[in-house]
Structure 1
Amino acid sequence: MDLSSLIQAGKQLEAELIAFRRDLHRYPELSLQESGTAAKVAQRLSQLGMEYRSGVGGHGIVAELKGEQPGPMIALRADMDALPIHEESGLDFASERPGLMHACGHDAHTAILLGAAELLVGQKIKGSVRFLFQAAEEINAGAKAMIEQGALDGVAEIYGLHNLPTLSAGMTATRYGSLMGSVDRIEIHLEGRGGHGAIPDQSIDPVVCAANIIMSLQSIVSREVSPFDPVVVTIGSIKSGEANNVIPHYAELTGTIRTFDAKVQQQMAERIERIVQQIAAGYKCKATLKYIEQTPVLINHDGCNRHVEQVMDRMIGAARRIEAPPTLAGEDFSVYLQHVPGCFFWLGSGPAEDASHAYGLHHPKYELNEDCISLGAALLAAIALQRLSAN
């Protein structure tokens, strides 16, 4: 089987895939609001004559391509949602919806998976390919909802990709084991006693308490976790008070916790609860902590990762594949990997010459090099085809 021919076939689809991606980019939709995007995907699947189920896990779509002979089922996944970011890219096809942007490239992921589906239609396969067009990745809810509604039923392996603008288009990156971090959310409510800013002795100040909690939480990273276990504790929002001369009655904090090891992730809730409660007691405040587990560490399965690398090396050459550095950014593809073996990899989407200074994911000036789209489609198609070849 000549897998490299898929690259040429992908090139023939390039113009229509780019046009489809640009249309999605103009009209981004937030998590759990992807109805328009889903309708466009469904229309393309219908044109391909492919069976599909809509409304899975919100606005997700599950499509299936069945081979003529029995065999395993391989799943390929793409996410569809955008972000609440005002676009500053200056592109001709920039978002026409103020405050919304495909700043993570999920529009390209959707086009790539549709391209893979088109490349696989008519191929001789033993088994079947399931295409998961997932909603709500950005809020870490989509994968769980898809699984609950049967998206992985009967699936033997699952594969997915994410574009990376700091890696040149034409390049790929893989990693054995842990690739991306876990994602948990914390919400802290502190109750004090409000009063006049000039008479602090008659009040209980939740702002001072909050400041000390923020600083003390960092001691978890520096003094309670091994320096060889990456952990991030970030407080991203603080809300308290309305006037400069008033001690407020409450303070609310939200934050994110990232780890690179499942055991460390399991220990974080107790550590944060202990610090929050004891610091709050020291400042005579009442504290409530909500610790919300969102996604686990993304851990690739060795056999699946090896398969992906072999396909890449045959199609584009080993020189265009690098080892992916670990990152504490999260991805709910990790939830799928808790249920079935699979692999997630990076697809370069940055400038061909030097991508090191490109705007990163979630930046208002993020820009995707569209040369990556046809290659991504060919790679996903080949990953499935190589597993299900009838030859």
Structure 2
Amino acid sequence: MSGSERIRLLEEAAGRADKWIEFRRDLHRYPELSFEEAETAAKVRRELDRLGIPYRSGVGGHGIVAELNGAESGPTIALRADMDALPIQEESGAPFASERPGVMHACGHDAHTAILLGAAELLASRRPARGSIRLLFQSAEEINAGAKAMIAEGALDGVDEIYGLHNLPTLPAGLVATRRGALMGSVDRLELTLTGRGGHGAIPNETIDPIVCASALVMGLQTAVSRELSPFEPAVVTIGSLQAGHANNVIPHRAELTGTVRAFDPAVQAKLPGIIKRLVEGIAYGYRCQADLRYMEQVPVLVNHDAQAAFVEAATDALIGRERRVEAAPTMAGEDFSVYLKHVPGCFFWLGSGPRQGAENAYGLHHPQYTLNEECIPLGAALLASLALDRLNHI
């Protein structure tokens, strides 16, 4: 795209911003959990119908695959947005706050959906001369299941490259953060049942106490990172829930634990299941408990492809200037966009969604008081649209 074309794209995005902000607010008011996004998907379909963009619905749950085809055959560039909300009670105080108790768009997927629809509208009047732009509206990112379900139903068939973004409230709106190579951690889940022998709390010698065993396991599992991995191989083992017993004077028969395991290197992710299994079985044996460990690999490390990351950098710099792009810090937070990147080259990047001043003190993702600076919506739409057009012109 020429410089004048980019200026017109930004101006058009700004001129249409109110409509997409209102769309986002409607989604925010009526959030839906993973694999329950029926109303959200229906609203997306109505907008695609209005724009005259063909699509396939019900892909991988409530996912939608839309296609903008050029006059001639050529490569296919995919752009992805997620649509699901979280089981969080909203405390933002926004006038369009969630009206569904215990459900909130605390990660900004409502904005991601609006951004991709905004990009679709910008692209509808700039259809490529060759190739295709595929728009993926995805279910169930929050439970790390949607991308796999979309891929299983052909969402990536024929795709040459894929791009996606995520808002970041600790980065000021108007900025973009990119990183080559590993950007986000892998995500695995563990579930553990410890079975002992219950009894009276006053006679512990006649029992096998699974709570004591569980307590030892919570501490012992930390050595999987601190004493079995190099200090230069970051990883996290977190036990997030421990359920056992109901009475203060009763030693329960069993304890249930769940946790998350993160790594920043695929080789480290591959090591951790064996380490954790050995620690669980050894500690449980020492405390005379039976251990049933279920270890589920969910998503891999999100590793951007260098060439595609360079394309995002170039498109960002051309659209908004090099001074508004920063290097993204690595994070152990996970994203199932990583699954797409295992199949096709692509890049995932951060779009600033925080206040212009003091973004570093903003409430982060998944917080009940999370808010989004809606200035990011037209910029995100323009950036995705220009990136897709640039790639089709250069592949």
Q: Give the alignment's TM-score, normalised by structure 2.
A: 0.98
CA distance in 1, matches of 2:200, 2:36: 44
CA distance in 1, matches of 2:357, 2:287: 55
2:335 paired residue number: 331
- What does residue range 1-391 of structure 1 map to in structure 2 within 5 Å? 1=2, 2-125=5-128, 126-389=130-393
Q: Give the alignment's TM-score, normalised by structure 1.
A: 0.99
- Indicate the percent of aligned positions where both proteins have the same amino acid: 67
Are the equivalent residues in 1 in contact too, given 2:87–2:104 (CA < 8 A)?
yes
Are the equivalent residues in 2 in contact too, given 1:4–1:314 (CA < 8 A)?
no
1:220 is displaced (CA, Å) by 1.1
What CA deviation, in whole Å up to 9, does each residue of 1:156-214 have, x standing for no partner? 00000000000000000000000000000000100000000000010000000000011
1:12 is displaced (CA, Å) by 1.2
CA distance in 2, matches of 1:197, 1:54: 56
The 3-state SS of whatever aligns with 1:242 is coil
1:223 is aligned with what amino acid? Answer: R
1:124 is displaced (CA, Å) by 4.3
1:389 is displaced (CA, Å) by 3.2
The 3-state SS of whatever aligns with 1:154 is coil
What CA deviation, in whole Å up to 9, does each residue of 1:61-100 have, x standing for no partner? 0000000122100000000000000000000000000111
1:258 is aligned with what amino acid? Answer: R
The 3-state SS of whatever aligns with 1:279 is helix
CA distance in 1, matches of 2:19, 2:87: 27
CA distance in 1, matches of 2:9, 2:189: 42
The 3-state SS of whatever aligns with 2:391 is helix
The 3-state SS of whatever aligns with 1:343 is strand
Structure 2's unaligned 5+ residue stretches are none
1:349 is aligned with what amino acid? Answer: S
1:116 is aligned with what amino acid? Answer: A
CA distance in 1, matches of 2:63, 2:260: 26
The 3-state SS of whatever aligns with 1:379 is helix
1:3 is displaced (CA, Å) by 2.2
Are the equivalent residues in 2 in contact too, given 1:165–1:368 (CA < 8 A)?
yes
The 3-state SS of whatever aligns with 2:360 is coil
The 3-state SS of whatever aligns with 1:3 is helix
CA distance in 2, matches of 1:6, 1:309: 18
Are the equivalent residues in 1 in contact too, given 2:68–2:127 (CA < 8 A)?
no
Structure 1's unaligned 5+ residue stretches are none
The 3-state SS of whatever aligns with 1:299 is strand
1:4 is displaced (CA, Å) by 3.0
CA distance in 2, matches of 1:124, 1:256: 43
The 3-state SS of whatever aligns with 1:291 is strand
CA distance in 2, matches of 1:46, 1:289: 48
CA distance in 2, matches of 1:355, 1:178: 24
Are the equivalent residues in 2 in contact too, given 1:124–1:389 (CA < 8 A)?
no
